[in-house]
Amino acid sequence: MLQNLEQQQLVLNTLCQTLTDPEPQVRAKAAESLGRLELQAALPNLLAQLNDPSPLVRLNIIQALGQLRATTAIPQLIPLLLDEAPEIRAATADTLGKIGNEHTIDYLLKTLNDSTPTVRATAVQALGEIGAEATIPPLLQAFKDVSDTVRIHAIESVSKIYAREA
């Protein structure tokens, strides 16, 4: 439907403007919409709101960055692996799994020590997505994690890495 650049610009401007709406759920929806539409030009606006006070907004922005495959956002995403909200840390790990590279591995490995099992499990999955053989030893360590979910995802990730290597 975005038949021309003018329309694309209109949608982009409208949604980016809504990223600063007073209502958190509206800002969150705007971020989600920009991600769903994969509007690459929204990247600066999304990054500008990445420290929104609402966890829901931050969450949707992080997910949108993953949908945009925004590798340039990696430096700004990494600090969010230490966000106070576990769902933000998990979403960040998930997005880094989609767009990350070998430079993000160290940060994800540190996340394997996160206090929240869901975050550790997502980090394990992200490492499996990135698929570097160097992450096999720490993933094998994760086989001993106290959380069933982490252990299962660790097994899947190791399997995935070896399947990719084969």
Query: What's the token pair of residue 81?
Result: 């692996």
**Nearer CB in complex with other proteins: 7/141:** 7
Calculate the CA 166 to chain-centre distance.
27
Helix (H, G, I), strand (E, B) or coil at 23: coil
**Which residue is it, tokens 């020590």?**
113
Residues 4-23 that bind other proteins (CB under 8 A): 7-8, 10-11, 13-15, 17-18, 21, 23
Going by C-alpha positions, the residue among 82, 87, 84, 129 that lies closest to residue 105 is: 129
**Nearer CB in complex with other proteins: 26/48:** 26
Question: What is the rounded distance in angstroms from the CA atom of residue 158 to the CA atom of residue 56?
Answer: 32
**Nearer CB in complex with other proteins: 13/141:** 13
Report phi then psi at 42, rounded to 5. Answer: -80, -5
**Nearer CB in complex with other proteins: 12/70:** 12
Least spacing, CB of residue 99 vs other proteins, in Å: 21
**Nearer CB in complex with other proteins: 3/113:** 3
Instruction: Tell me: does residue 68 bind other proteins (CB under 8 A).
Output: no
Least spacing, CB of residue 24 vs other proteins, in Å: 9
Query: What's the token pair of residue 14?
Result: 């409208």
Residues 21-60 that bind other proteins (CB under 8 A): 21, 23, 25-26, 29-30, 33, 36-37
Beta carbons within 8 Å of 145's beta carbon, 6+ residues apart: 117, 120, 151, 154
Residue numbers of the site for other proteins (CB under 8 A)?
1-3, 7-8, 10-11, 13-15, 17-18, 21, 23, 25-26, 29-30, 33, 36-37
